[in-house]
């Protein structure tokens, strides 16, 4: 993997205000990933492929990442980027709305990373629970959304997003088959480990 290209892509994405994963969030995820060594990862929200390319380092041999992005320009850029970095054999990019694509997926995944439209997190969770392996782990980025989720200030424009993020937190916390931590790292990261598969 071409680390220098990856750094260039990261720099460009930051300059263009594309919301790529924050360094400290990635660091926390890495601690889990080195232990799991996932065979298959599902990512919802590719953007330009940055996080997916970072995750390739932790895949088991012959492991693969499926990632979904609805914006055509970003899909194109992500496809160019994975070629430049030399990880095109490890990343499969699906173009379209995850709300439509997720129900068509069947295989179990060892890890799911939710990082797309905040208003859809409860739906993404439902699909993640269907697709996750019995020893799997589900991460959700931006779960605290600039602190709005934990504040009682209710007048901001992002009210729908906040309501759905709160619902996500409630569901993962109350699900008896999940062991969940809500971490204040970056923009907030929910980490839910599957205890047994009946969820």
| Interface contacts to Mg ion, rule CB under 5 A | 115, 141-142
Shortest distance, position 152 Cβ to ligand SAH, whole Å? 27
Shortest distance, position 19 Cβ to Mg ion, whole Å? 5
Asked if residue 117 binds ligand SAH (CB under 6 A), the reply is yes
Return the one option of ligand SAH, Mg ion, none that residue 142 interacts with (CB less than 5 to 8 A, by type).
Mg ion
Asked if residue 21 binds ligand SAH (CB under 6 A), the reply is yes
For residue 36, give the nearest of 190, 173, 139 by alpha carbon. 139
DSSP secondary structure string, the chain?
--HHHHHHHHHHHHHTT--PPPHHHHHHHHHHHHHH--SEEEEE--TTSHHHHHHGGGPPTT-EEEEEE--HHHHHHHHHHHHHHT-TTTEEEEES-HHHHGGG--S-EEEEEE-S-GGGHHHHHHHHHHHEEEEEEEEEETTTGGGGGGS----STTHHHHHHHHHHHHHHHH-TTEEEEEE-STT-EEEEEESSS--
Return the one option of ligand SAH, Mg ion, none that residue 117 interacts with (CB less than 5 to 8 A, by type).
ligand SAH
Asked if residue 97 binds ligand SAH (CB under 6 A), the reply is yes
- Cβ proximity to Mg ion: between 115 and 171 the closer is 115
Query: Contacts with ligand SAH in 133-162 (CB under 6 A)?
Result: none
Q: If binding means CB under 6 A, how many residues of this protein chain bind ligand SAH?
A: 19
Query: Contacts with ligand SAH in 52-71 (CB under 6 A)?
Result: 68-71
* Contacts to ligand SAH by CB under 6 A: 19-21, 45, 47, 50-51, 68-71, 74, 97-99, 115-117, 120
């Amino acid at each position: 993997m071409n680390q220098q290209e990856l750094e260039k892509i990261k720099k460009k994405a930051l300059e263009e205000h594309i919301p790529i994963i924050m360094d400290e969030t990635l660091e926390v995820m890495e601690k889990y990933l080195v232990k799991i060594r996932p065979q298959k990862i599902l990512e919802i929200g590719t953007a330009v492929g940055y996080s997916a390319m970072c995750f390739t380092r932790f895949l088991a041999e012959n492991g693969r990442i499926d990632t979904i992005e609805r914006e055509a320009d970003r899909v194109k850029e992500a496809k160019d980027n994975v070629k430049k970095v030399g990880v095109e054999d490890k990343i499969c990019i699906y173009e379209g709305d995850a709300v439509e694509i997720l129900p068509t997926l069947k295989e179990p995944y060892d890890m799911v990373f939710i990082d797309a439209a905040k208003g859809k997190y409860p739906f993404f969770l439902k699909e993640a629970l269907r697709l996750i392996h019995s020893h799997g782990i589900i991460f959700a980025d931006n779960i605290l959304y600039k602190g709005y989720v934990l504040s009682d200030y209710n007048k901001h424009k992002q009210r729908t997003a906040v309501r759905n993020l709160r619902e996500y937190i409630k569901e993962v916390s109350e699900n008896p088959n999940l062991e969940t931590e809500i971490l204040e790292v970056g923009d907030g990261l929910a980490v839910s480990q599957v205890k047994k598969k009946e969820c």
